A and B are shown apart, each in its own frame.
Chain A
Amino acid sequence: MKSSAQRVLAVAALAVVDLYRRRDLFVALILAAVVVLPLLSFQFFGMSGIVRYLGEVTLLLVWIFSVAIGVGVAARQIQSEIESRTIFPLLAKPVKRAEILLGKFLGAFAATGSAVVLFYLCFLALFVLKGGGGVNWAIWGQALLFHLLFVLVLTALTLLVSLILTPSATLTICTLVTGGMLLFGETLAGFAAKMPWFLAWLGWGVHALAPHMEFFDLRRQLVHGWPPVELSVSLAVAGYALCYSGVLLLFATVVFQRKKL
């Protein structure tokens, strides 16, 4: 058990080192600057009334960047190992495919999660610097936690899809599904109810199976300073993220075990 954990952590650490050495983190920092600079310039012109609107735009950018980084990092975890053939010396070692997959998942999650934390820290620093009122730590913490849960699901989904489709198809499908659910996930059930019966079944099917990324989106609460989501709801969302990621990882393990190399 201990050596299994050691193997999983070694693979996970490799993904994080990969992120740093490939200078992906610098890209994340540049993206963070892109997020930060508009706020600074508006402060320069003394347009404090626009802070809330800018906060909304900034958070949208944070979400877009986190999807881009999350999908990009997770999609290349196994695919690049196969393409560059580094998978062969690795599989020749006493490591199970499930351990490699779990390590890759944890590594991709840690890499993307650290970028998300960085974005939130930048956003928080600007919020404080611009005098955006007292910081509601509860909603800030909750928004970050929910965003990390989102990254968890996104990473598991991308890892699974990357084992089935080509890298470019993985990027396209995962970005579309995530974007689609963030935009329309909330209204999917309503759409389904208004459809003819056969389309309604399809709609309900998608509603039941698709990853409800919108559950993790607390941008409105954060921007408008609303109170935090109730603990019971938070626990339900966390449970959903863990269960959904677990099922995706289970499928990914089966696919990876059967994958011909």
Chain B
Amino acid sequence: MCGGRAGESVFMDAIQIQKVSKQYPGGAQALDGLDLTVRQGEVFGFLGMNGAGKTTTIKMLLGFFPPTYGELKVLGGDPLDSATRRRIGYMPEVANYYGYLSVRELLCFYGRICGMPRSEIRRRSDELVELVGLQDAGRKQLKNFSKGMMQRAGIAQALLHDPELLILDEPLTGLDPLARIQLRDIIVMLKKAGKTVFFSSHELSEAELICDRVGILKNGKLCCCGSITEIAGDGAGNLERIFLRHIQEGIGAP
């Protein structure tokens, strides 16, 4: 088990994954007895190679499908329950939204889906469009957006309903350096506001800069988890070296 703290209330944990396995109908084992706890208010980096099971974990955290075995709780509730999802913001790996809408129309649509009043949608849209730097996009349809602009629109829709937990699937992919810095700043700002951020990434240097803790997934199992200092152990080094060491040598969980 990674991250659990004996004697503390379970409500202190934003995400609790206990012995979760996922087997796809074809027989492929995506996750194999995954144990992971993410504390409220922390920025957690979920790292791993392609096919390690990161996206499968995220999809289960969002209630897209249940695990084959094991149990997972998000903010103390079942992610299959829509009331739990009301408290989660999600940005997918591939930023695809309705190409025939403008960014404000997209936010209005998602706001209505979240049950927000119109005045609140308008206020939040104004704030977020400015926050992600899309105020000049105007009525431009999303199909005419660049990849970076789509990612920004994705961040705005994820933050729209002021969620307690933010789940970001490869949020830094495809962003130019300026947008990366902006996203990093947004994540730091969210942390200061007491939000929990859980994100998967390949961008180890970025993860190192913003994460309180990281977990490295290999073949559906967590091979290490903790702060950079904790998982570095005796062998000092940056996250890149730690990652390579764990992936190549397959060191067991601490």
- The verdict on A22 contacting chain B, using a C-beta distance below 8 Å, is yes
Contact at B100–A21, with CB atoms within 8 Å?
A: yes
Interface string of B99-136 (1 = CB under 8 A from A): 01100010001101111000000000000000000000
Residues of B near A21 (CB, < 8 A) are: 100-101, 141
Docked complex Cα distance between A10 and B105 (Å): 11
Docked complex Cα distance between A189 and B38 (Å): 64
Our pick among A6, A86, A88 for the contact of B64 (Cβ within 8 Å) is A88
Docked complex Cα distance between A40 and B88 (Å): 59
Our pick among B92, B97, B101, B154 for the contact of A17 (Cβ within 8 Å) is B101
Residues of B near A261 (CB, < 8 A) are: 64-65
Comparing A66-74, A93-101, A124-132, A151-159, the segment that makes contact with chain B is: A93-101
Known: A85-B92, A260-B65, A261-B64. A93 touches B100 (CB 8 A): no
Min CB–CB distance A256 → chain B (angstroms): 13
Our pick among B25, B90, B158 for the contact of A260 (Cβ within 8 Å) is B25
Residues of B near A84 (CB, < 8 A) are: 96
Comparing B2-10, B78-86, B181-189, the segment that makes contact with chain A is: B78-86
Interface string of A1-30 (1 = CB under 8 A from B): 001001101110010011001100000000
Residues of B near A90 (CB, < 8 A) are: 113
- The verdict on A89 contacting chain B, using a C-beta distance below 8 Å, is yes
Residues of A near B115 (CB, < 8 A) are: 3, 6-7, 94
Contact at B64–A89, with CB atoms within 8 Å?
A: no
- The verdict on B62 contacting chain A, using a C-beta distance below 8 Å, is yes
Contact at A89–B154, with CB atoms within 8 Å?
A: yes
Contact at B96–A7, with CB atoms within 8 Å?
A: no
Min CB–CB distance B43 → chain A (angstroms): 19
Instruction: Count how many chain A residues have C-beta atoms less than 8 Å from C-beta atoms of the other chain.
Output: 25
Known: A18-B100, A88-B92. A93 touches B110 (CB 8 A): yes
Contact at A10–B65, with CB atoms within 8 Å?
A: no
Residues of A near B97 (CB, < 8 A) are: 86, 89
Residues of A near B86 (CB, < 8 A) are: 94
Contact at A14–B109, with CB atoms within 8 Å?
A: yes
Docked complex Cα distance between A89 and B151 (Å): 13
Contact at B82–A94, with CB atoms within 8 Å?
A: yes
Closest chain B residue, CB of each to CB of A95: B113
- The verdict on B157 contacting chain A, using a C-beta distance below 8 Å, is yes
In chain B, residues 43-67, which have Cβ atoms closer than 8 Å to a Cβ of chain A?
59, 62-65
- The verdict on A242 contacting chain B, using a C-beta distance below 8 Å, is no
- The verdict on A91 contacting chain B, using a C-beta distance below 8 Å, is yes
A interface residues, Cβ below 8 angstroms from B: 3, 6-7, 9-11, 14, 17-18, 21-22, 84-86, 88-96, 260-261
B interface residues, Cβ below 8 angstroms from A: 25, 59, 62-65, 82-83, 85-86, 88, 90-92, 94, 96-98, 100-101, 105, 109-110, 112-115, 141, 154, 157-158, 161, 167
The contact sample of 27 A-B pairs, CB cut-off 8 A, is: A3-B115, A6-B112, A7-B113, A10-B112, A11-B113, A17-B100, A17-B101, A17-B105, A18-B98, A84-B96, A86-B97, A88-B92, A89-B90, A89-B92, A89-B97, A89-B110, A89-B154, A91-B62, A92-B64, A93-B85, A93-B110, A93-B161, A94-B85, A94-B86, A94-B115, A260-B25, A261-B65
Please name the 4 residue pairs, one residue from A and one from B, whose CB atoms are nearest each other, closest first.
A21-B100, A92-B90, A10-B112, A3-B115
